[in-house]
Amino acid sequence: MSSFDISSVKGDLNRGQVSWEAPSNIALVKYWGKKGLQLPMNSSLSLSLSSSKTKTTLSWKKKPEGEGLSFDLLFEGKKKVQFQKKISTFLKRIEEKIPSLKDYHLQFDSENTFPHSVGIASSASSMASLALCLGSFAAYSGVETFLGDAFYEQVSSMARLGSGSACRSIYGGWASWGPYQLDEREKGSDFYATPFTKIDPLFEEMSDFILIVDSSPKKVSSTEGHALMEGHPFAEGRILQAENNMNKLVDSILKGKWDIFQRVVENEALSLHSLMMSSNNPYILMHPRSLAVIEKIKEMRAKTGVNCCFTLDAGPNIHLLCPRSENAKVKRFIESDLRDLLENERWIEDSVGALGPKPLEC
Ligand code: PMV
């Protein structure tokens, strides 16, 4: 990927601004469990979405030396104290990458393009957009590691320190993260994600229908869920399963094999939830209606042969994926068979966003 265009920065090094939007992503092979500082226990592969995004503006103002790092965070124009600690931890983790940060007061203004409280995780898109703004600031102030072609790799590595899955939201289309080697040239890394571009036409235009089953706040956070993978009785098996699923999934995407794709995607979704249920502090994030929706999808597929499959994040909502050519049939099915199972009959139509993040006018 090319480097960042410095001309999108407004102002100067004393006082300036930069804005980015970054997509949300849905993992098909799931990152679950960490080691070290936000490094993944296993490889993962995701799709970046085109409509579910976060927009962030970073404004910086130079301040007297020695005052230390300070920041404000506004979400949709309002101060958000509940995100304060997360951002503070994130900024401390990245300080050594951008040493001059401590000489500035920073303000982040963020907003999501998707509706409030529908249970769509926004940490990937928000941390990715923050990291893109900070990476642009770094490039603008001449931090060498952020100049030239290394920009996106560096930003991905920084986003990872905010939220693991955010490192994949730095790219459009498909992205992988972790040791899995996509081909001889592109060796996978635990530190940053890599775009995956060798896609069979069947998978080039995919839709993601996000079916809102329950939008109430999660009882167990992803951070707690990852931690429960330490000492999990199936941890070793999970690492092998994920690498094996990466192999099968990448092969199916390269060769356009829908059946294998579908089987692996659904295996991953249910494995993620079974790891939660079999952890040393077991819990369930699926809703009874999540299971009802899954059953209906399977029944419809068996009857009609429509190419579609489901996946879940760490929550009860269902992502129903299909090639764009199946859109009309899948929409009719949602309207007729699934609508009543959804909270406020709500679902969101999204798709794979090939373009990925972009800088915005401030
Ligand atoms: O990035 P985190 O720490 O919120 O973890 C995300 C975990 C899953 O969404 C369940 C899987 C993934 O790979 O995105």
Given a cut of 90, is residue 69 above it in pLDDT?
no
In the reported structure, the alpha carbon of residue 160 is separated from the centroid of ligand 1 by a whole-number distance in angstroms of 11
Question: Which residue has tokens 């928000």?
Answer: 126
Residue nearest to atom 10 of ligand 1 (CA): 314
Residue 38 tokens read as: 């936000």
Burial class of 280 by CB neighbour count within 10 A (0 to 12, 13 to 18, 19+): exposed
Ligand 1 pocket member 207 (CB < 6 A): no
- The average pLDDT across 235-245 equals 98
**pLDDT tens-place string over residues 192-204:** 999 999 899 999 9
Given a cut of 70, is residue 109 above it in pLDDT?
yes
Given a cut of 80, is residue 119 above it in pLDDT?
no
Site to probe by mutation for ligand 1, drawn from 165, 249, 273 as the one with most ligand atoms within 8 Å of Cβ, is: 165
The confidence score (pLDDT) of residue 117 equals 64
At residue 98, the 3 state secondary structure works out as coil
Ligand 1 pocket member 222 (CB < 6 A): yes
What b/e sequence results for 94-105 when a residue is b if at least 16 CB atoms lie within 10 Å of its CB, and e otherwise?
A: beebbeebebbe
Burial class of 78 by CB neighbour count within 10 A (0 to 12, 13 to 18, 19+): exposed
Atom of ligand 1 nearest to the CA of 314: 10
Distances (CA, A) of 114 to 24, 125, 290: 10, 11, 21
At residue 30, the 3 state secondary structure works out as coil
Atom of ligand 1 nearest to the CA of 31: 13
**pLDDT tens-place string over residues 291-318:** 999 999 999 999 999 999 999 999 999 9
- The average pLDDT across 96-109 equals 95
**Alpha-carbon distance 354 to 111, whole Å?**
21
The residue ranking higher by pLDDT, 248 or 122, is: 248
Burial class of 32 by CB neighbour count within 10 A (0 to 12, 13 to 18, 19+): buried
Atom of ligand 1 nearest to the CA of 26: 14
The confidence score (pLDDT) of residue 68 equals 84
The residue ranking higher by pLDDT, 217 or 329, is: 329
- Strand 39-40 with 70-75, pairing: unpaired
Residue 252 tokens read as: 């199916």
**Alpha-carbon distance 208 to 338, whole Å?**
15
Contact 50, 352 (CB under 8 A): yes
The residue ranking higher by pLDDT, 6 or 87, is: 87
Given a cut of 90, is residue 182 above it in pLDDT?
no
- Phi, psi of 172, deg, nearest 5: -80, 170
In the reported structure, the alpha carbon of residue 222 is separated from the centroid of ligand 1 by a whole-number distance in angstroms of 7
Given a cut of 80, is residue 121 above it in pLDDT?
no
Bridge partners, residue 337, by sequence: none
Ligand 1 pocket member 164 (CB < 6 A): yes
Single pTM value for the model: 0.96
- The average pLDDT across 109-116 equals 87
Q: What value does the CA radius of gyration of the chain take, rounded to a whole number of Å?
A: 20
Helix H or strand E encompassing 141: none
Ligand 1 pocket member 44 (CB < 6 A): yes
Given a cut of 80, is residue 183 above it in pLDDT?
no
What are the strands of the beta sheet with 309-312, ordered from one edge? Answer: 309-312, 318-323, 206-211, 347-351
Site to probe by mutation for ligand 1, drawn from 32, 41, 168, 265 as the one with most ligand atoms within 8 Å of Cβ, is: 32
- The average pLDDT across 16-39 equals 97
In the reported structure, the alpha carbon of residue 45 is separated from the centroid of ligand 1 by a whole-number distance in angstroms of 11
- Phi, psi of 62, deg, nearest 5: -65, 145
Given a cut of 80, is residue 115 above it in pLDDT?
no
Site to probe by mutation for ligand 1, drawn from 24, 26, 29, 30 as the one with most ligand atoms within 8 Å of Cβ, is: 30
**Alpha-carbon distance 275 to 85, whole Å?**
28
- The average pLDDT across 110-139 equals 88
- The alpha-helical segments, DSSP class H, found in the chain are 81-94, 123-140, 151-160, 222-227, 235-255, 258-277, 288-304, 327-333
Helices and strands (H and E) in the chain: how many: 8, 15
Burial class of 187 by CB neighbour count within 10 A (0 to 12, 13 to 18, 19+): exposed
Given a cut of 80, is residue 1 above it in pLDDT?
no
Residue 280 tokens read as: 């040393």
